């Protein structure tokens, strides 16, 4: 088994019931080929009745990557359709193409440090496979498929939202729907208008490896109003927390 899977599960925000699925998602075909028997074909099709089944000895992540690509496209489309009801088909397509692009998924794979967890054969290891875009993107999709098979749709949706969806403001700007709003400034204004205490921000937690750190910030208005939110920087975390309080104040 790959070492440090506990750490990877923590970064994913998901704990596997069947950790063999995660192990397989991280296994490149070069590693599986190194471990395969020297001779003898592996039968992958169903066996006729009465004939003992031949074990499926394919242990690489290629089939999981195939499934993960479809799960990603489906759940990203569903999330965009639901979250942006006023966007045109063209805007939704633009955002989907961005979110499922190799460059975007590579950044998500780097945040999870998937390169360190990949199981590679000797040749691919020597060739620098741990930093290859194709291998890392395929591994991300395979891990997503593993989460989907292990925990279902909502578990996979959660991983996508945590790891591959930027803030709604960033997406709105990308879709040409206007610049992102400054929720910290908006919260300051709302607090003044409603004679509330000035917002106070406090860093309450940090998680993840150094190159993919996530920050947890709490914003508080006196004793009654408070919210916490995560972000890839202290600034984005405080922005997300301020947004929650703004939405609460406007809805109240």
| Residues 117, 239 share a domain | no
pLDDT at position 147? 97
Task: Enter the pTM of the model.
Answer: 0.64
pLDDT tens for residues 133-163? 999 999 999 999 999 999 999 999 999 999 9
**Confidence category of residue 57, pLDDT binned at 50, 70, 90:** very low
Question: Is residue 225 located within the same domain as residue 142?
Answer: no
Same domain, 157 and 212: no
Active-site residue, 141 included: yes
Domain holding 192: CATH number?
A: 3.30.160.20
For residue 199 the two structure tokens come to 């917002």
Do 193 and 168 reside in the same domain of the chain? no
Q: Which one of 65, 124, 141, 150 is the catalytic residue? A: 141
One domain, residues 216 and 140: no
Domain boundary among 151, 174, 197: 174
Q: How many domains does the chain have?
A: 2
Q: For residue 168, is pLDDT > 50?
A: yes
Query: In this structure, what CATH number is given to the domain that contains residue 110?
Result: 1.10.1520.10
Annotated active-site residue 186? The verdict is no
Asked if residue 180 has pLDDT above 80, the reply is no
**Catalytic residue from among 60, 65, 69, 150:** 69
pLDDT for 155: 95
Same domain, 166 and 120: yes
Q: Residue 44 has what pLDDT? A: 42
Out of 124, 141, 174, a domain closes at 174
Question: Containing domain of residue 106, as a range?
Answer: 5-174
Q: Are residues 163 and 198 in the same domain?
A: no
Model confidence over 3-33: pLDDT tens digits? Answer: 578 999 999 999 999 999 999 999 998 886 6
Q: Measure the CA dihedral 200/194/177/242, to 10°.
A: 20
| Mean pLDDT of all residues in 82-106 | 91
């Amino acid at each position: 088994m790959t070492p440090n899977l506990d750490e990877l599960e923590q970064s994913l925000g998901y704990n596997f019931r069947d950790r063999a699925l995660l192990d397989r998602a991280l296994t490149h075909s070069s590693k599986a080929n190194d471990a395969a028997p020297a001779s003898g074909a592996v039968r992958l099709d169903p066996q006729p009745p009465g004939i003992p089944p031949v074990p499926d000895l394919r242990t690489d992540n290629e089939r999981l990557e195939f499934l993960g690509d479809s799960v990603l496209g489906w759940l990203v489309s569903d999330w965009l359709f639901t979250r942006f009801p006023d966007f045109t088909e063209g805007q939704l397509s633009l955002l989907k193409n961005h979110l499922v692009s190799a460059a975007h998924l590579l950044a998500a794979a780097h945040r999870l440090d998937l390169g360190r967890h990949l199981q590679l054969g000797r040749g691919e290891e020597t060739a620098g496979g741990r930093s290859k875009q194709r291998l890392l993107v395929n591994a991300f999709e395979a891990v997503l498929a593993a989460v989907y098979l292990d925990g279902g749709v909502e578990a996979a949706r959660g991983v996508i939202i945590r790891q591959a969806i930027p803030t709604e403001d960033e997406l709105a700007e990308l879709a040409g729907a206007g610049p992102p709003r400054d929720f910290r400034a908006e919260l300051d204004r709302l607090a003044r208008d409603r004679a509330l205490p000035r917002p106070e921000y406090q860093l309450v937690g940090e998680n993840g490896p150094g190159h993919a750190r996530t920050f947890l910030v709490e914003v508080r208005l006196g004793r009654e109003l408070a919210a916490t939110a995560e972000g890839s920087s202290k600034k984005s975390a405080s922005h997300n927390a301020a947004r929650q309080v703004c939405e609460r104040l406007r809805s109240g």
